[in-house]
Each structure stands twice: as structure tokens, then as C-alpha cells.
Amino acid sequence: MNVSPLAGKPAPASTLVNVSRLVTAYYAEHPDPSVAPERVAFGTSGHRGSAFERTFNEAHILAITQAICLYRQTHGIEGPLFMGMDTHALSEPAFASAIEMLAANGVDVIMDSGVPRAWSRARWRSPCGRAATR
């Protein structure tokens, strides 16, 4: 494997993403289901894409989360859903979208201890989610 010449050095400004624009695109850009690359797609590490390319946005997260809720309902899964998040720029917006969909479906959520403190104090509809975040 080749080592990048940038390894161990600060990233050049030209390679950095504008996080504010990325978050705006997450909420504002809507995928076109007739365009194959804009549909929900999973790789070996989960859902991947870019809000700038309409391949990772709120519509995707809501659809994926609703599918999880429907699967749980269809298979009689009533226990809590354990949820965490990583450090990617869109993790917090995606977390918020997923939580809203899970709450709307009455799914109890237990969050990872790495979730930002503001989220751990959020008000939940489900008693299990409230108890788990105190």
C-alpha cells in the first residue's frame, strides 16, 4: 500500500469541505428516485454518499429509518433500539433525522455514551429512551 504524501501533515485548505454548506445540502437537496446514483445505496460499511451529490441526505436517512421501523413491526420486535453515532460531519443531522422517525414510530431508543450531551438531554416520547439518557 502506498503512503500518501499528505500523511502526518495538516490537510491543505483546498481539500477541506465547507461543513455548513454540507449540512445545508443534507436538508435542502432532495434525491431523484429515477436517477440510480441518487437512490439509497449500501456498501460494506453501511450507507455512503455525499449530500452535495444527493447520495446522502435527510430523505435517505428517513427512508432507511422508516424501513427499520417497518421491519421491527413486521417481525414483532418491541425491545429498544441501541443507537450511536460517529464523528463524520453529517452524523449529528442524520442522528436527529433518525431519532425523529424512531420517535414517530414509538421506538424506544438507547443512545451510545458518545452522543453529544445536548442530545442526551433531549425529551423523548418513549419512556425507555428517556430513562436511558438520564
Task: Name every residue whose Cβ is closer than 8 Å to that of residue 43 and which is 6 or more positions away in sequence.
Answer: none
Reported as a pLDDT band with limits 50, 70 and 90, residue 131 is: very low
What does DSSP assign to residue 109? E
pLDDT for residue 45: 72
Largest CA distance in the chain: 52
Q: Which domains does the chain have, with CATH numbers?
A: 17-132 (3.40.120.10)
The pLDDT of residue 58 is above 80: yes
Reported as a pLDDT band with limits 50, 70 and 90, residue 132 is: very low
**What tens digit of pLDDT does each residue of 25-55 get?**
999 999 999 999 999 988 777 778 899 999 9
The pLDDT of residue 127 is above 50: no
Reported as a pLDDT band with limits 50, 70 and 90, residue 115 is: low
Read off the pLDDT of each residue in 98-105 and give the average, rounded to a whole number. Answer: 94
